[in-house]
Amino acid sequence: MGLLHDKLLRQQQVITAEIAPPKGAGTKRLKEKINLLKPFVTAINITDGQRALVRMASWAACKVVQELGVEPVLQMTCRDRNTIALQADLMGASAMGFPNLLCLTGDPVKVGDSPESKPVFEIESVGLLKMVSTLQTGTDHHHLKMNAPTRFFMGAVVNPTLHGSNSQLERMKAKVAAGAHFFQTQANYDLTDFSRFLNAARPLNTPVLAGILVLHSADVAIFLQKEIPGIHLPREIVDRLTRSNDPEQEGLQIALESMLALEGLCQGFHLMTLKKEHLIPQLIKNYYANTTLENASL
């Protein structure tokens, strides 16, 4: 297993970040983003067709992450692959030495740039976790023997903004039963609601990384509210960004306030931006300058 596994097992706080792979075969900009984040994070997630947009395969971008000396988190969705393709990709990803896997159902095709494409969804995220758990024992989905098992530290996602929260907690329980070892959450800008959810999830005894999506303008906030499923922004957040003379710095302050409010309720943070990865190192520096946690470390 990798560094993410070891730190979570030792109950150390960790920070992960997320990068969308490039639109095309070029990797120059991807490498720049990885090197920018490298000193500050435990691992880097690479999205898999997020928002149903056509981009480089997650496994290929994860290979670049790995080659640059950072631990990757491979994301895999069920939208575009049947169970044969899923298993083939999982076997290949394990052979390439990727230690971490995040299992997702995937965004609907209609929200992306190829709405005429046909979605697969032969299984969803719980089914994918169960499939991986089977592959970890050395047999495939139909219990046929493999020459070697896969070896993944398996993660799953949860959206704390969906109500009632009990349904999301039940979903988390199902994912833990299916094999999830840790969770990364969607962002939630209602900190009272977010805190309540994280407290409710603690009896599961499964590490949770709270999702923090850094906003850099009021326009971006409004776009997220309208276009991204599961995002809810309180009016005061949009107002703060609208009134600010420096929206990027205001967005960083909002993210910092979220992290400080949630520390102690989760085992770390998963940081996200919309094409503004350069903000993440500054946010982490600001956080460590203000945190009271003694075990806060990369």
Quickly state the pLDDT bin for 141 (edges 50, 70, 90). Answer: very high
Sign (positive or negative) of CA dihedral 51, 214, 259, 268? positive
Q: Is 202 exposed, middle or buried (0-12, 13-18, 19+ CB in 10 A)?
A: exposed
Tell me what the mean pLDDT of segment 290-297 comes to. 61
Q: Quick one: pLDDT at residue 108?
A: 81
CATH of domain 3-290: 3.20.20.220
Q: Quick one: pLDDT at residue 147?
A: 97
- Per residue in 207-250, pLDDT (tens digit) is 999 999 999 999 988 888 777 766 778 889 999 999 999 999 99
How does strand 268-272 pair with strand 71-77? unpaired
Q: Where are the domains of the chain?
A: 3-290
Which residues partner with 15 through β-bridges?
Answer: 269
- Quote the percentage of the chain above a pLDDT of 90: 82
Contact 114, 142 (CB under 8 A): no
Q: How many CB atoms lie within 10 A of CB 188?
A: 27
Residue type, 117: S
Backbone φ/ψ region at 273: left (φ over 0), alpha (ψ -120 to 50), beta:
beta
Q: How far apart are CA 113 and CA 110, in angstroms?
A: 8
How does strand 100-104 pair with strand 182-187? unpaired
* Mean pLDDT estimate for the chain: 93
Tell me what the mean pLDDT of segment 162-187 comes to. 89
Q: How far apart are CA 219 and CA 102, in angstroms?
A: 30
Closest C-alpha to 215, from 184, 176, 179, 242: 242
Q: Quick one: pLDDT at residue 24?
A: 97
Q: What is the pTM of this model?
A: 0.93
Quickly state the pLDDT bin for 94 (edges 50, 70, 90). Answer: very high
